[in-house]
């Protein structure tokens, strides 16, 4: 370590991480000082979550190092990070619903009287901590009876109980209303005034603008820029620009094809009684994209209209005819297919052969028995048509690359037959070359008059592949773009609630 170098509370130096041959972090360096609020910005998949997992010891970097108070930790673990004062508050609830607020806060710190757990002392300690931070909760109340916002406060209090030096917050206001969000932001600022360094991740740029001292922008796993507040403000227009700027060669050149009449409609969809109604129309030969940040509600919409999850309200029409969709089988029977985000868990049976995965939705039969010859002919035709790279149709599907697995799923639906196909993150975890093969395949489907509804967090994918894009934020449609209107800037600004006139 250079003795002349400044000592930071927390530091990542040249950190890189590779998963399955894909570089998700590439030589990233950031620093954190006491009392500083350092925000990480970037699109879905930019590398933010991977970086905080490395900073907190959940992942080991493939290159680079993490330093805490100037001391390097090449093999940092979550336990060691906690011991050194690094606490992380993840999006997922990590509380015990049946226990009280006080018991959840001090799960790891048991107050005792005569050797036995003291509920009274635990509640007293919790009350003192809440008073110090200006939080008004009943320490004896069960967590399961609290609102989502108050549960978030308990998570923050739990992280503060060990007196950390660093607090990492990952989307702490997701799905909150304005009032609850402001309360969390005020709390974060109060915590920073106590000298605790904070790393803050949020898709809401208005939050970052309000509280951040420093903003670092990640894009495609690289650190693009770092801005420090000048006169208490950060130029969020520059932040947005850095988030979306890309070389044009990253975009697929989609072939144009004729788009026909409306053949699929969703009217007045409500996921619950309090959600805003959503209307969706889809035309023959069209690719409609649902864009938005993680947690915006895109997957929930597709699952509800396909029959995977219950919906509170909403009607579904195909070719003008109202459909009764309450289960996935209802959708399948009406010529609607679905490819989930997790292809390995719910799209394929990995131990089975390619042949079996391609045909199990519609087994060819003769006199009540499976027609093996026809099944082989069908599989051979699909493998050739989709250019699935395999030495044999009898090879286990789990041995294929991600791109070829995705082709098998599409082939499965081609054999079954569909008019409308819903795809959730169709190229997730697939390398660039395989992505372009999938794009060409999807484009070819639209030439046949098939209609595609795609959920994607890959912005170049959304911009280059879709004929029309609907932007979802907090379960609502907040923007719609078509043709030349579909740009990274327009979609990202809509998704992040940035004023389009800025």
- The Cβ of residue 376 has, within 10 Å, a number of other Cβ atoms equal to 15
**Residue in the structure block whose two tokens are 């801005």:** 227
Average pLDDT, the chain: 88
pLDDT in tens, 443-496: 999 999 999 999 998 888 898 899 999 999 888 999 999 988 998 888 888 888
Name the phi and psi angles at 122, rounded to 5: -65, -45
CATH for 249-495, options being 3.50.50.100, 3.40.50.300, 3.30.1150.10, 3.30.70.100: 3.40.50.300
Residues 54 and 77: their CA atoms lie apart, in Å, by: 9
Confidence grade of residue 432 (pLDDT, cut at 50, 70, 90):
low
Name the phi and psi angles at 323, rounded to 5: -105, 150
Residues 181 and 132: their CA atoms lie apart, in Å, by: 20
CB 1 within 8 A of CB 74: no
Largest CA distance in the chain: 83
Structure tokens at 312: 């509170």
Q: For domain 10-244, which architecture applies?
A: 3-Layer(aba) Sandwich (3.40)
In the predicted structure, residue 502 carries a pLDDT above the cut 50: no
pLDDT in tens, 231-285: 778 888 888 888 877 655 566 777 888 899 999 999 999 998 888 999 999 999 9
Question: pTM of this prediction?
Answer: 0.66
In the predicted structure, residue 417 carries a pLDDT above the cut 60: yes
State the DSSP code for 100.
B
CB 213 within 8 A of CB 458: no
Structure tokens at 301: 């919409």
From the number of C-beta atoms within 10 Å of its C-beta (0-12, 13-18, 19+), residue 20 rates as exposed
CB 15 within 8 A of CB 66: yes
Distance of CA 330 to the CA centre of its chain: 28
In the predicted structure, residue 175 carries a pLDDT above the cut 70: no
- The Cβ of residue 45 has, within 10 Å, a number of other Cβ atoms equal to 19
pLDDT in tens, 104-127: 999 876 676 656 778 889 999 999
CB 313 within 8 A of CB 268: yes
First to last CA, the chain: 44
Looking at residue 467, its pLDDT comes to 94
pLDDT in tens, 23-35: 889 999 999 999 9
Domain with CATH 3.40.50.300 in the chain: 10-244, 249-495
CB 88 within 8 A of CB 159: yes
∠ CA 301-338-275, rounded to 5°: 5
Structure tokens at 62: 């493939």
Look at the chain and count its residues.
Answer: 502
pLDDT in tens, 47-82: 898 999 999 999 999 999 999 999 999 889 999 999
Looking at residue 217, its pLDDT comes to 94
pLDDT in tens, 355-411: 999 998 888 888 888 888 999 999 999 999 888 888 899 999 988 887 888 899 989
């Amino acid at each position: 370590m250079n003795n002349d170098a400044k000592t930071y509370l927390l530091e990542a130096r040249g950190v890189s991480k590779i998963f399955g041959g894909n570089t998700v972090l590439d030589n990233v360096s950031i620093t954190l000082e006491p009392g500083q609020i350092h925000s990480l910005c970037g699109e879905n998949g930019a590398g933010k979550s991977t970086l905080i997992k490395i900073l907190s010891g959940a992942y080991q970097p493939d290159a680079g190092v993490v330093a805490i108070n100037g001391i390097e930790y090449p093999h940092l673990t979550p336990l060691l990070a906690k011991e050194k004062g690094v606490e992380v508050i993840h999006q997922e609830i990590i509380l015990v619903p049946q226990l009280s607020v006080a018991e959840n806060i001090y799960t790891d710190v048991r107050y005792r009287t005569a050797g036995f757990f003291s509920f009274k002392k635990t509640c007293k300690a919790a009350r003192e901590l809440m008073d110090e931070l200006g939080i008004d909760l009943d320490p004896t109340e069960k967590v399961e009876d609290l609102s989502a916002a108050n549960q978030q406060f308990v998570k923050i209090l739990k992280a503060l109980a060990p007196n950390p030096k660093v607090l990492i917050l990952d989307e702490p206001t997701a799905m909150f209303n304005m009032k609850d969000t402001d309360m969390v932001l005020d709390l974060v600022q109060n915590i920073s005034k106590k000298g605790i360094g904070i790393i803050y991740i949020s898709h809401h740029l208005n939050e970052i603008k309000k509280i951040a001292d420093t903003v670092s922008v990640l894009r495609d796993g690289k650190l693009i820029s770092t801005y420090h507040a000048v006169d208490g403000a950060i130029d969020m227009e520059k932040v947005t620009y850095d988030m979306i700027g890309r070389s044009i060669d990253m975009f697929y050149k989609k072939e144009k094809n004729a788009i026909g009449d409306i053949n699929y409609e969703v009217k007045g969809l409500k996921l619950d009684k309090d959600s805003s109604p959503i209307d969706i129309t889809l035309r023959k030969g069209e690719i409609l994209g649902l864009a938005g940040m993680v947690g915006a509600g895109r997957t929930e919409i597709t699952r509800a209209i396909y029959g995977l999850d219950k919906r509170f309200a909403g009607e579904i029409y195909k070719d003008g005819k109202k459909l009764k969709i309450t289960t996935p089988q209802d959708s399948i029977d009406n010529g609607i297919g679905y490819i989930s985000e997790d292809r390995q868990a719910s799209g394929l049976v990995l131990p089975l052969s390619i042949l079996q995965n391609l045909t199990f939705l519609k087994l060819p039969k003769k006199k009540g028995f499976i027609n093996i010859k026809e099944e082989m002919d069908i599989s051979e035709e699909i493998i050739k048509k989709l250019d699935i790279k395999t030495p044999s149709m009898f090879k286990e599907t789990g041995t294929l690359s991600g791109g070829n697995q995705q082709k098998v799923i599409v082939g499965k639906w081609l054999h079954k037959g569909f008019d409308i196909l819903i795809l959730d993150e169709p190229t997730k975890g697939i390398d660039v070359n395989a992505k372009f093969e999938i794009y060409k395949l999807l484009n070819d489907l639209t030439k046949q008059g098939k209609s595609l509804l795609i959920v994607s967090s890959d912005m170049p994918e959304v911009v280059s592949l879709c004929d029309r894009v609907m932007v979802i934020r907090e379960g609502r449609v907040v923007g719609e773009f078509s043709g030349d209107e579909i740009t990274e800037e327009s979609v990202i600004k809509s998704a992040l609630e940035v004023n389009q006139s800025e």
